[in-house]
Amino acid sequence: MNIGIIGSGALGANVARALARKGLSATIANQRGPASLAALVEELGPTIKAGTVAQAAAADIVLVAVRWVDLGRALGGLPAWNGRIVIDGTNPVEFLDPDSPDAKDPSNPLAAYGIKAIDLQGRYSSEVFREFVPGARVVKALNHLDVKVLTQPEVSGGQRVQFYSGDDAEAKAEVRKILEAIGHFAVDLGSLAVGGRLAELPFGPLAATNFIKI
Ligand SMILES: NC(=O)c1ccc[n+]([C@@H]2O[C@H](COP(=O)([O-])OP(=O)(O)OC[C@H]3O[C@@H](n4cnc5c(N)ncnc54)[C@H](OP(=O)(O)O)[C@@H]3O)[C@@H](O)[C@H]2O)c1
């Protein structure tokens, strides 16, 4: 199974870094194009290639690592997904300009983190996300911890836990293999409606909580 990564920022680059550490291959893309990724792919070595969004999206397993507000532009106009696996690494938050009134809004509990929750009207995030990738098998994963820990799977004499959830058992099994291959202890939280909600930021009860399997 080959892997594509759409988004080369904090999440996309650190997943690529985690894959590269284990000699795993991926094609990574962003909106500025492959040339802008020259320094990253040089740092990560021969297994990580820079590509276009279309090339990354053509992989068997595609991680979407763009900001929520960019989903439409990043995923619009791509060829049919035809049952391929898409990892939803996103969270429904808006990144705030530090000088904006929102960033200083005392009613925003996330202002200190420079983000604001996006109101999904009671829907869970992967329920909305999958509308951007019709026909794909969506697995929610890699979204619930600080990206810096992706390359630190071994910790305190144990393995860091990565949650994942999805509605297709075979797709989940493939994503589980990736989480295990990068050294983490993968825990299946069930369906997107249950597990996705539990681990989605900002307010899922399991989000941003580090568990260690000892
Ligand atoms: N940061 C975290 O700790 C963290 C942890 C877990 C989950 N997440 C989630 O991961 C997602 C990405 O967050 P991030 O912190 O990695 O954001 P980021 O650092 O701002 O990176 C966003 C990436 O998306 C790319 N992008 C934007 N529009 C695009 C388009 N139309 N086509 C292709 N690529 C496009 C950008 O391309 P350019 O580089 O060319 O601008 C950039 O590489 C968000 O949904 C976030 O909630 C973040």
Model pLDDT for residues 130-167, shown as the tens digit of each residue? 999 999 999 999 999 999 999 999 998 899 999 999 99
Q: Which residues contact 32 (CB under 8 A, 6 or more apart)?
A: none
Residue 190 one-letter amino acid: G
For residue 70 and ligand 1, the question of a CB distance below 6 A is answered with yes
Nearest CA to ligand 1 atom 23: 7
Nearest CA to ligand 1 atom 6: 143
Model pLDDT for residues 15-42, shown as the tens digit of each residue? 999 999 999 999 999 999 999 999 999 9
Is-contact 213 161, C-beta < 8 A? yes
Q: Kindly state whether residue 214 falls inside one of the protein's structural domains.
A: no
Phi, psi of 120 (to 5 degrees): -100, 15
Phi, psi of 194 (to 5 degrees): -95, -65
Q: Kindly state whether residue 164 falls inside one of the protein's structural domains.
A: yes
Percentage of residues in the chain having pLDDT higher than 90: 96
Distance (Å, whole) CA 171 – CA 146:
24
Residue 150: name the closest of 50, 27, 49, 24 by CA.
Answer: 24
Q: Kindly state whether residue 156 falls inside one of the protein's structural domains.
A: yes
Domain total of the chain: 1
For residue 43 and ligand 1, the question of a CB distance below 6 A is answered with no
| Ligand 1 center from residue 169 Cα (angstroms) | 27
Q: What is the pLDDT of residue 75?
A: 98
For residue 68 and ligand 1, the question of a CB distance below 6 A is answered with yes
Q: Is the pLDDT of residue 207 over 90?
A: yes
Q: Which residues contact 212 (CB under 8 A, 6 or more apart)?
A: 155, 156, 158, 159, 160, 161
Domain that holds residue 26: 3-208
Q: Kindly state whether residue 213 falls inside one of the protein's structural domains.
A: no
Nearest CA to ligand 1 atom 1: 10
Nearest-atom number in ligand 1 for the CA of 36 is 40
How far is CA 160 from each of CA 21, 70, 194, 207, rounded to the nearest angstrom?
16, 29, 21, 14
Distance (Å, whole) CA 78 – CA 120:
24
Q: What is the pLDDT of residue 156?
A: 84
Q: Which residues are registered as beta bridge partners of 3? A: 61
Q: Kindly state whether residue 194 falls inside one of the protein's structural domains.
A: yes
| Ligand 1 center from residue 157 Cα (angstroms) | 31
Q: Kindly state whether residue 96 falls inside one of the protein's structural domains.
A: yes
Distance (Å, whole) CA 92 – CA 71:
10
Nearest CA to ligand 1 atom 9: 90
| Ligand 1 center from residue 13 Cα (angstroms) | 9
Q: Is the pLDDT of residue 51 over 90?
A: yes
CATH of the domain at 179: 3.40.50.720
Q: Write out the E strands in the chain.
A: 3-6, 26-29, 48-50, 61-64, 85-88, 93-95, 115-117, 137-141, 154-155, 158-166, 185-188, 212-213
Model pLDDT for residues 164-191, shown as the tens digit of each residue? 999 999 999 999 999 999 999 999 999 9
Average of per-residue pLDDT across 68-80: 97
Question: Between these two residues, 87 and 101, which has the higher pLDDT value?
Answer: 87
Q: Is the pLDDT of residue 102 over 90?
A: no
Q: Kindly state whether residue 128 falls inside one of the protein's structural domains.
A: yes
Q: What is the pLDDT of residue 150?
A: 97
Q: Kindly state whether residue 158 falls inside one of the protein's structural domains.
A: yes
Question: Between these two residues, 100 and 57, which has the higher pLDDT value?
Answer: 57
